[in-house]
């Protein structure tokens, strides 16, 4: 009886499995926040840090849902005493907690998306209180309804990992405090987006 044994190599194919974890993405980015000018204060360009959780019902070329937390920090110089702080040179922190839906379209390794997210905008700043034995700095906050509009460009290094460039527009809908003076920002961020596995 003659037996033939084949020594041909066996090709193994490794593919990333698609399950519920591959539908959740975690975008993160850092960038620059540019405020719109106004007559009350000079607000300098500042830092933006963005963290988010995104759910994609299907991988791409479809609607997706995202929750963002964006932290913007800008230094300011006050021109008038009527703004809600009595500190001439200080720091304004603007936090946005927003959630919404968008649409993404892929072109080979590239993808582009548009996203609208309503939510909450919070301004935080310091105010000085003169005490008998010194000066006390207190932190004041004001919050209002806010909207973020985001357009992004992604480059997919692997199926579930991409570099991202995302210009954004922020708007606070309030007419009190710093919100009246600085209610609109434009942001330019770079970062990554990826799944857990």
Which pTM was predicted?
0.81
Give the CA angle between residues 59, 152, 44 to the nearest 5°.
150
> Does the pLDDT value for residue 6 go beyond 90?
no
CB atoms under 10 Å from CB of 176, counted, come to: 10
pLDDT at 114: 98
> Does the pLDDT value for residue 95 go beyond 90?
yes
Residues 6+ apart with CB under 8 A from 153: 110, 111, 112, 164, 165, 166
Which tokens sit at 14?
């490794």
pLDDT at 188: 96
Domain ranges of the chain: 20-194
What is the average pLDDT value for the chain, to the nearest integer? 84
Q: Which helix (H) or strand (E) holds 123?
A: strand 110-131
pLDDT tier, 12 (very low <50, low <70, confident <90, very high otherwise): very low
Quote the radius of gyration of the chain (alpha carbons, Å). 24
Average pLDDT over residues 168-184: 73
CA distances from 28 to 72, 77, 137 (A): 14, 30, 32
| CATH class for the region spanning 20-194 | mainly beta
* More confidently predicted of 57 and 183: 57
């Amino acid at each position: 009886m003659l037996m033939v044994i084949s020594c041909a190599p066996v090709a193994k194919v490794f593919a990333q499995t698609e399950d519920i974890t591959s539908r959740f993405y975690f975008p993160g980015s850092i960038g620059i926040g540019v405020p719109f000018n106004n007559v009350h204060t000079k607000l300098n360009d500042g830092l933006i840090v963005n963290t988010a959780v995104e759910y994609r019902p299907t991988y791409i070329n479809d609607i997706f849902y995202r929750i963002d937390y964006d932290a913007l920090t800008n230094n300011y110089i006050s021109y008038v005493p009527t703004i809600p702080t009595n500190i001439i040179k200080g720091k304004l922190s603007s936090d946005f907690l927003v959630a919404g839906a968008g649409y993404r379209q892929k072109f080979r390794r590239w993808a582009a998306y548009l996203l609208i997210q309503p939510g909450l905008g919070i301004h935080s700043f310091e105010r000085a209180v003169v005490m008998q034995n010194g000066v006390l700095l207190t932190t004041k906050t004001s919050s209002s309804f806010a909207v973020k509009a985001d357009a992004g460009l992604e480059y997919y290094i692997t199926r579930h990992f991409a570099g991202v460039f995302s210009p954004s527009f922020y708007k606070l809908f309030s007419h009190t405090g710093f919100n009246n003076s600085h209610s609109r920002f434009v942001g330019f961020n770079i970062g990554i987006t990826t799944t857990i596995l």
